[in-house]
Chain A
Amino acid sequence: MADMNRRDFFKVAGLAGAAGLTACDVQTPVEKLYPYVVQPDQLKPGIPTYFSTICGGCASACGAVAKNVEGRTIFLAGNPDAPSGGGLCASGVAGVQDIYDPDRVLTPTAGGSPKAWDASLDALAKAIAASKESGKKVVWLGKYRTGALGKLITDFVSATGGQELHWEPLGYEALVKATELAFGLSGAPRYAVDQAKVIVGFGADFLHTWLSPLAQAKGWAAARDPEKGGFVAEYYEIAPTVSHTATRCDTWWTVKPGAEAGVAMALAKLVATRKGSDVAKDYLASVDPAALADAAGVPLAKLETLADKLAKETSIVFPGGPATNGVNGTHLALATLVLNAVCGNVGKTLLLTQRSNLGKVSSYAEVEALFADLAADKVGVLLIDDVDPVFSLPASVNAFATLEKLQNLFIFSNQVTDSFTGNATVLPPGTSWESWGDAEAVVGQYGLQQPTMTSLGDTRGIGDVLLGLAKTLKLGVTAPVVEAAPAEPTDAAPAKDAAPAKDAVAAAPAVAAAPLLIGGKVAVASFEAEDFYRYLVGYWHQNVYTPAGASEPFDAWWVSALKRGGFFASRVEESVSLLANLPKGEPGAATTNSTSLVLFPSELLFDGRNANKAWMQEIPDPVSGYTWGTWAELSPGHAQKLGVTEKDSVVVSANGVEYELGLRISKGLPDGVVTVVLGNGHERGNRYSKGWGHNGFRFVKAEKDPVSGALSYAGIAAEVKRGAQGNPRKGMKGSESMDHRPVALVSNVDDVLSGKHTETSSLAGIHRIPEDPRLVAKGMHDMFPEPEHPTYRFAMAINLDTCTGCGACQAACFSENNISITGPDQHLKNRYMNWIRLDRFWEGDGEHPDVRFMPAICQQCAHAPCEGVCPVVATYHNIDGLNAMIYNRCVGTRYCANNCPYSARRFNFHTYRWPEAYQLMLNPDVSVREVGVMEKCTFCVQRTRYVKAEWRGKGAVPDTAWQKLTACAEACPTQSITFGNAKEEASAVSQIWKTARAYELFGELNNKSGVRYVTKLSFEPVVYSHHGGGGHGEDHGDGHAEAPAGHAAETKPHGAGAGAGADHH
């Protein structure tokens, strides 16, 4: 070393350093961050902006609030100010996946290749003009639309002399027709469930997919909550099958498929007799309850007991849903409306003034006729607005082949659908979260839809397209043209008064007839409007603002409507009575098929429109527990006859279509009925919708209800035989029986109402150690006292009675917490990442299904079994009572997950990657997890931190800031989840925790969990006993003295006396 001088040292060191650096593989590409040149006013990095809007997912147009972070809408929640209230359904929450759909249509295309807007619209204008010349029709086939866009479409189509059809596959033709026949009104009733003490369903899936599920679920939850109304609604389901909604029923009477209307008529007659009412006298004159009950297979005595209740109490009767609407659907709907009228529900629970705005619903018969016209080459141009006829029409219509022949097919769609033929020109309108719009889903309730972010693609709204076309085609003038230019000066001053997301709105003050101007352009609901935004404002000025007679100037009114998410004025129910000349009731004929196929909509995928959303595929169906595919259901008896179990598949064939489907055995079906779920089986679509399962719509026979023209999805003659492939999903849902364990507990309604359970947690826990008063006095009653939580002990209460299993909490959790999508193969090994696992237990039999949903999440135990066993302290107990996770510290021993009695932990078995588009959807407040790391529910720690930071220095955080803070609680449509601080005596969660119905899951393990469940309610006698057993009360004398009401609860469906519970051993 002696001969190395300083210069040599630097040479060598420099060379070695350079060599070392060269050897480094720079894998991360250089990214540059550019600041905004002009930062938008409302944008503060890290602080989200919220926009009130409406969800465009279905016709019920629920209010929504979109959370926008740095220009991207990343979370959707319900709008508490809207009539739908807080909460949003699962598919609504998953609306962000429409925006970031990785295979979304972002530019107009023709025949699959991009075509510029101008060229596409030029082609459309020419096609319309040519079609008019050649005497062919221009036809609009679209989804249900109301409000400004609905009017614009109607005006446009009528100006072109075309035909307008608004049809959805699982639509409401029968109910709309029946409403017209019964009351002479256009639309459908609105069902206000909250006041009903008796609920009767004839198959409508009113909590999940039927009419306005969010509002109905909310009403139902209120009717089930003894704390709210002092009563608990009893729910009778009279239908061939137990729908997802009917899993919540108290009593289920099986009806022979097709004969439901007769039961409704018989009930109406029985109630009318009891009440001495002469409502619908003629209609009921010839009704013979005994004969009808007999024909439907329901014992008359049962109907009579129900009629007794209906005659006394406020009630609500639901019709059949699309799934149970057979060819007699209208008569069933009519009979239920008559029954409601006889019960005196009109104006109370059956609202007709504030009815559902479904007046423009077209029937399936009209759509069928359209396809006949198309086949006969009578149609020049077909415009399709966000429906997928190829996917949802029966095979006999031959929709794809017919559309393929049509040269001028224009489809407004953001997602790839089965209807994309080679000739189709696809015009992406932008999702409802990126564009202006409105809806009047309920008469008089106006929801306003505003863009919550800039469109991701080169999109143009339907309204803008139609207005442009109207100008090109010089379509009829519907309002006097007002030149915009003269009014220009009045615009300058109020323009600063900015509306949240777009140009300022200015009403010309004082001058009555002066046109409304925005940015110097006239805002009017006619073809003269410059763009759809101005059309919308004009429409609202004319149809909402002016009739409302608001005192404030329009611009202020408009801004507040935008902030609120619409204009919602409650109306007084006008008295409506049944028409005198009701058609003769048609009881319907019970099916004679040896095996009948009933199709039912997937709760999450609905009619297939949500299949493109990965979360909707990923969240298990609440009842079957299955994901990513199509399955068939059979009754246990039927399965036994075929010699199949859930390990097998069955081959279902009907109308020449044959599918091999995995089997689920459901106690909610009679023998001889096979049900198949709809929603999957897309032939064209995005990466999530294409290729999973089979399209159940292909089974449909194209049989119509002669009165309404609705398509029958029930009572299809089918054959079922054993399949060879087996059911890959067999292990996906765990056990459907609680195995006599105290998991999802029940309380008897009378016990609860009479205050029989007064002790906290008297129902819960087994084998509690008897407490010695001397030790308690010394504060020594627990060897393991709760760790110190100085200010907060974050806690949750989940109501098992009002939980409908809808999956909204799961979707919200996916969205908020950047939860990975693992895909179908991983699901077969139970490797879902869903932090909320929904257990379902089908405890009852026959008449009393007693299905219990159990959203199992991390219980944030104060004595968490997971914490002690982690060798590296990657999970620990924090000062707020949370089991915190340090993802970077996790080695992945998975010991914590083994030791969790609630199986609440999820492991990253692989690097689950998001498609690039979904990365824009990620919540920047939550880190994404890598392979080999454990994760779980954190009670949305990022949100609790945010609230704490917000309130720092401002005093104590009010309980209202906590109650619906977590994503699941915020989304829950029935508000079954309450969050809060258990250290605060007065907090809502503490109050619920104190009620007798609240219990800790597996409380006997003394984990001191931070979640308590509120028992499900049952009208059946309940035996409260040790873990479902009985007969060993004597030797636990002391324990009983401490907790007199006993412990775990179990239903004895047929009135078994106390203590008669069979020992489980």
Chain B
Amino acid sequence: MQAAQTYADVNRDVLRPLFKPTPLWAGALALDLVVLAFGAYCWAYQLEWGLGVAGYTPPVFWGVYITTFVFWVGIGHAGTLISAILFLFRARWRTGIYRASEAMTIFAVITAALFPIIHVGRAWYVFFLFPYPNQRELWPNFKSPLVWDVFAINTYLITSTVFFIIGLIPDIAAVRDGSSGIIRKVYNLLCLGWRGTDNQWRHYMAAYGFFAALCTPLVLSVHSVVSWDFAMAQTAGWHSTLFPPYFVAGAIFSGCAMVITLLVPLSKIFEWEEYINVWHFEHLAKLCLLTGSVLTYSYGIEHFIAWYSDNPYEWGIFVDRATGNYSWVFATMVFCNCIAPLIWWSKKMRTNLYVLFAVSLLINVGMWFERYNIIASSLAHQFDPGSWVYYQPTWVEMGILAGSFAWFGMWFLLFVKLMPAVAIAEIKEAMRPPLKHDHVEAA
């Protein structure tokens, strides 16, 4: 890494974009809010008229909303992987990107958490899913994977938010130090009066390590639990023991791709090439190559097992996915997830920002379609041939899907203007400590 010259340089570079809305930023936010408003309108329309405004075609009772839910939960994986697991493994390349990707995680989970509510038939009763004490002594059904989901997502959201905030404390202090007036007061509050004493640093590092360790199993558990929504069901095409590792690999795959998608323009726009550059992206691309291979293998093994099991329902699904009504979805998925990333085996390609960006976008598309493929095609081709149908989303579903990106985008846009999107303290930690003779030389 090409280190900045001094700690002050780091502060200057990272804090430069804060609080100053540029026309580009303001325009992006405005556009984002318009899309978000449309998404909100779609949801309101759906609440008014019932879920029938979506394209559900029984027995396809789950569609774009659950697809998008799983998509965002998956996106939410990379952040914690990068911040927690790679921290424990002392992977140096995480330093520059972990803050932004962790923010992405939280915003993705916040986005994902909307979808179960959007999805249910009576959104106004969604609190039934929580085990709250009530006079009627009614509890949720702890056997249901959907209840597990409620716990898994909430645990993940809370833990990673705490972890995120802990990581932010010294950097918020840095923002405070460079500000005045009301902003200074607010940030002083947010950094819990951080002064950077040795004692504070000692406690801070212990806490950070503790939460990193706590978050690590969650990275694996959340998407395993989400995968159980499917794997625990009897539905052919879902009922598979392969799902947890397959989903976790897919989540990391899509999450890393999303980090590339977000950070390539971010580092360009904020002129942070010094902190976030090809060196990081190459590592992410390698991670994508690994998880992408796992995914490709999973696709293969899924088909193999379906054939080998001699189960007509399973095999029927997998043949139908590849050749039936949804073959275009299947083809998109295979191209985007299995074929497109192969280009990164070439070092030249995985160090080219344009290629990185383009392929990461394809992976995002592919991973959305993977979930769509699993959900829609399995349900449309159930056990009883007399119930086979074809499901297509409507404008309402697509509007809410677009709205979810806008919702995520809104948080991210606000984040980059309000918080340091690169971890100042850790960058400084990675730099050569300033020594006395440096000053002498400089002098």
Q: Once the chains bind, are A871 and B52 in contact (CB under 8 Å)?
A: no
Nearest CB in chain A: distance from B190 CB, A: 35
B387 located at the interface, meaning its Cβ lies under 8 Å from any Cβ of chain A in the complex: yes
Distance between Cα atoms of A1008 and B98 in the complex (Å): 51
Cβ-neighbour of B386 out of A841, A889, A933, A934 (below 8 A): A841
B410 located at the interface, meaning its Cβ lies under 8 Å from any Cβ of chain A in the complex: no
Given contacts A739-B316, A894-B121, contact A731 B389 (CB under 8 A): yes
Write out the residue numbers on chain A whose beta carbons fall within 8 Å of the beta carbon of B292. none
Question: Which of the candidate stretches B85-93, B306-314, B334-342 sits at the interface with the other chain?
Answer: B306-314
Cβ-neighbour of B235 out of A894, A899, A1065 (below 8 A): A899
Q: Once the chains bind, are B390 and A873 in contact (CB under 8 Å)?
A: no
Write out the residue numbers on chain A whose beta carbons fall within 8 Å of the beta carbon of B144. 868-871, 895
Q: Once the chains bind, are A893 and B51 in contact (CB under 8 Å)?
A: no
| 0/1 string, A824-855, CB within 8 A of B gives 1 | 00100111000001011100000000000010
Q: Once the chains bind, are B50 and A734 in contact (CB under 8 Å)?
A: no
Q: Once the chains bind, are B122 and A892 in contact (CB under 8 Å)?
A: yes
Q: In which size bucket is the chain B interface?
A: 35 or more
Question: Which of the candidate stretches B145-153, B200-208, B219-227, B431-439 sits at the interface with the other chain?
Answer: B145-153
Question: Max chain A CB contacts within 10 Å: which of B55, B129, B383, B390?
Answer: B383
Q: Once the chains bind, are B62 and A894 in contact (CB under 8 Å)?
A: yes
Q: Once the chains bind, are B51 and A892 in contact (CB under 8 Å)?
A: yes
Cβ-neighbour of A839 out of B55, B62, B233, B384 (below 8 A): B384
Q: Which residue of A lies closest to B307 (CB)?
A: A1065
Q: Which B375-399 residues sit within 8 Å CB-CB of chain A?
A: 379, 382-390
Nearest CB in chain A: distance from B70 CB, A: 14
Q: Which residue of B lies closest to A902 (CB)?
A: B384
Cβ-neighbour of B58 out of A830, A889, A893 (below 8 A): A830
Q: Once the chains bind, are A1027 and B312 in contact (CB under 8 Å)?
A: yes
| 0/1 string, A1025-1041, CB within 8 A of B gives 1 | 01111001000000000
Chain A interface main SS type? loop
Q: Once the chains bind, are B59 and A898 in contact (CB under 8 Å)?
A: yes
Distance between Cα atoms of A1064 and B313 in the complex (Å): 12
Q: Once the chains bind, are A903 and B122 in contact (CB under 8 Å)?
A: no
Nearest CB in chain A: distance from B212 CB, A: 32
Q: Which residue of A lies closest to B63 (CB)?
A: A894
Given contacts A739-B312, A829-B57, A910-B52, contact A734 B389 (CB under 8 A): yes
Given contacts A901-B382, A903-B382, contact A891 B52 (CB under 8 A): no
Q: Once the chains bind, are A741 and B385 in contact (CB under 8 Å)?
A: yes
Q: Which residue of A lies closest to B320 (CB)?
A: A739
Q: Which residue of A lies closest to B382 (CB)?
A: A903
B119 located at the interface, meaning its Cβ lies under 8 Å from any Cβ of chain A in the complex: yes
Write out the residue numbers on chain A whose beta carbons fall within 8 Å of the beta carbon of B311. 767
Q: Once the chains bind, are B312 and A740 in contact (CB under 8 Å)?
A: yes
Distance between Cα atoms of A628 and B419 in the complex (Å): 60
Write out the residue numbers on chain A whose beta carbons fall within 8 Å of the beta carbon of B126. 891
Write out the residue numbers on chain B whose beta carbons fall within 8 Å of the beta carbon of A1029. 310
Q: Once the chains bind, are A741 and B312 in contact (CB under 8 Å)?
A: yes
Nearest CB in chain B: distance from A528 CB, A: 60
B232 located at the interface, meaning its Cβ lies under 8 Å from any Cβ of chain A in the complex: yes
Distance between Cα atoms of A734 and B424 in the complex (Å): 60
Write out the residue numbers on chain B whose beta carbons fall within 8 Å of the beta carbon of A934. 121
Write out the residue numbers on chain B whose beta carbons fall within 8 Å of the beta carbon of A865. 233-234
Q: Which residue of A lies closest to B127 (CB)?
A: A891
Write out the residue numbers on chain B whose beta carbons fall within 8 Å of the beta carbon of A826. 52
Q: Which B225-266 residues sit within 8 Å CB-CB of chain A?
A: 229, 232-235
A1002 located at the interface, meaning its Cβ lies under 8 Å from any Cβ of chain B in the complex: yes
Q: In which size bucket is the chain A interface?
A: 35 or more
Q: Once the chains bind, are A831 and B57 in contact (CB under 8 Å)?
A: yes
Nearest CB in chain B: distance from A521 CB, A: 57
Q: Which A731-763 residues sit within 8 Å CB-CB of chain B?
A: 731, 733-735, 737-741, 743
Nearest CB in chain B: distance from A774 CB, A: 27
B71 located at the interface, meaning its Cβ lies under 8 Å from any Cβ of chain A in the complex: no
Given contacts A831-B52, A910-B50, A1064-B312, contact A839 B387 (CB under 8 A): yes
Q: Once the chains bind, are B56 and A869 in contact (CB under 8 Å)?
A: no
B315 located at the interface, meaning its Cβ lies under 8 Å from any Cβ of chain A in the complex: yes
| 0/1 string, A864-899, CB within 8 A of B gives 1 | 010011111100000000000000011111110111
Write out the residue numbers on chain A whose beta carbons fall within 8 Å of the beta carbon of B19. none
Write out the residue numbers on chain A whose beta carbons fall within 8 Å of the beta carbon of B234. 865, 899, 901, 1005
Write out the residue numbers on chain A whose beta carbons fall within 8 Å of the beta carbon of B235. 898-899, 901
Cβ-neighbour of A869 out of B51, B55, B145, B312 (below 8 A): B145
A908 located at the interface, meaning its Cβ lies under 8 Å from any Cβ of chain B in the complex: yes
| 0/1 string, A387-429, CB within 8 A of B gives 1 | 0000000000000000000000000000000000000000000
A856 located at the interface, meaning its Cβ lies under 8 Å from any Cβ of chain B in the complex: yes
Question: Which of the candidate stretches B24-32, B103-111, B135-143, B159-167 sits at the interface with the other chain?
Answer: B135-143
Distance between Cα atoms of A911 and B47 in the complex (Å): 11
Write out the residue numbers on chain A whose beta carbons fall within 8 Å of the beta carbon of B141. 868, 870-873
Q: Once the chains bind, are B49 and A908 in contact (CB under 8 Å)?
A: no
A906 located at the interface, meaning its Cβ lies under 8 Å from any Cβ of chain B in the complex: yes
A907 located at the interface, meaning its Cβ lies under 8 Å from any Cβ of chain B in the complex: yes
B61 located at the interface, meaning its Cβ lies under 8 Å from any Cβ of chain A in the complex: yes
Q: Which residue of A lies closest to B144 (CB)?
A: A871
Given contacts A894-B62, A901-B234, contact A871 B57 (CB under 8 A): no
Q: Once the chains bind, are B379 and A743 in contact (CB under 8 Å)?
A: no
Distance between Cα atoms of A899 and B232 in the complex (Å): 9
Q: Once the chains bind, are A898 and B50 in contact (CB under 8 Å)?
A: no
Nearest CB in chain A: distance from B363 CB, A: 27
Write out the residue numbers on chain A whose beta carbons fall within 8 Å of the beta carbon of B316. 739, 741
Q: Once the chains bind, are A839 and B386 in contact (CB under 8 Å)?
A: yes
Given contacts A891-B126, A893-B120, A894-B121, contact A901 B383 (CB under 8 A): yes
Write out the residue numbers on chain B whose beta carbons fall within 8 Å of the beta carbon of A900. 59
Write out the residue numbers on chain B whose beta carbons fall within 8 Å of the beta carbon of A870. 141, 144
Distance between Cα atoms of A892 and B122 in the complex (Å): 6
Cβ-neighbour of A932 out of B121, B129, B139, B145 (below 8 A): B121
Nearest CB in chain B: distance from A565 CB, A: 37
Write out the residue numbers on chain A whose beta carbons fall within 8 Å of the beta carbon of B388. 734-735
Q: Which A958-992 residues sit within 8 Å CB-CB of chain B?
A: none
Q: Once the chains bind, are B233 and A899 in contact (CB under 8 Å)?
A: yes
Nearest CB in chain B: distance from A741 CB, A: 5
Distance between Cα atoms of A308 and B388 in the complex (Å): 44
A16 located at the interface, meaning its Cβ lies under 8 Å from any Cβ of chain B in the complex: no
Q: Once the chains bind, are B121 and A931 in contact (CB under 8 Å)?
A: yes
Q: Once the chains bind, are A837 and B386 in contact (CB under 8 Å)?
A: yes
Write out the residue numbers on chain B whose beta carbons fall within 8 Å of the beta carbon of A557. none
Write out the residue numbers on chain B whose beta carbons fall within 8 Å of the beta carbon of A738. 385
Write out the residue numbers on chain A whose beta carbons fall within 8 Å of the beta carbon of B387. 734, 837, 839, 856, 903
Distance between Cα atoms of A934 and B316 in the complex (Å): 27
Given contacts A740-B312, A831-B52, A908-B121, contact A734 B57 (CB under 8 A): no
Q: Which residue of A lies closest to B316 (CB)?
A: A739
Nearest CB in chain B: distance from A872 CB, A: 4
Q: Which B65-85 residues sit within 8 Å CB-CB of chain A?
A: none
Q: Once the chains bind, are A854 and B233 in contact (CB under 8 Å)?
A: no
Given contacts A899-B234, A903-B58, A910-B52, contact A890 B386 (CB under 8 A): no
Distance between Cα atoms of A1028 and B312 in the complex (Å): 10
Q: Which A923-982 residues sit within 8 Å CB-CB of chain B?
A: 931-934
Q: Once the chains bind, are B50 and A931 in contact (CB under 8 Å)?
A: yes
Write out the residue numbers on chain A whose beta carbons fall within 8 Å of the beta carbon of B145. 869, 895
Nearest CB in chain A: distance from B40 CB, A: 19
A231 located at the interface, meaning its Cβ lies under 8 Å from any Cβ of chain B in the complex: no
- Ordered by A's residue number, 22 sampled pairs between the chains whose C-beta atoms are within 8 Å are A731-B57, A733-B386, A734-B386, A739-B312, A767-B310, A829-B58, A830-B389, A839-B386, A871-B144, A872-B128, A889-B138, A891-B128, A895-B61, A902-B384, A908-B50, A931-B50, A931-B51, A931-B121, A1001-B384, A1005-B234, A1026-B310, A1027-B312
For the complex of A and B, 10 pairs with smallest distance between CB atoms = A892-B121, A839-B386, A932-B121, A909-B52, A894-B61, A735-B385, A932-B122, A903-B387, A871-B146, A910-B50
Which positions in B face A, CB cutoff 8 Å? 49-52, 55-59, 61-62, 116, 119-122, 125-126, 128-129, 138-141, 143-147, 150, 229, 232-235, 307, 310-313, 315-316, 379, 382-390
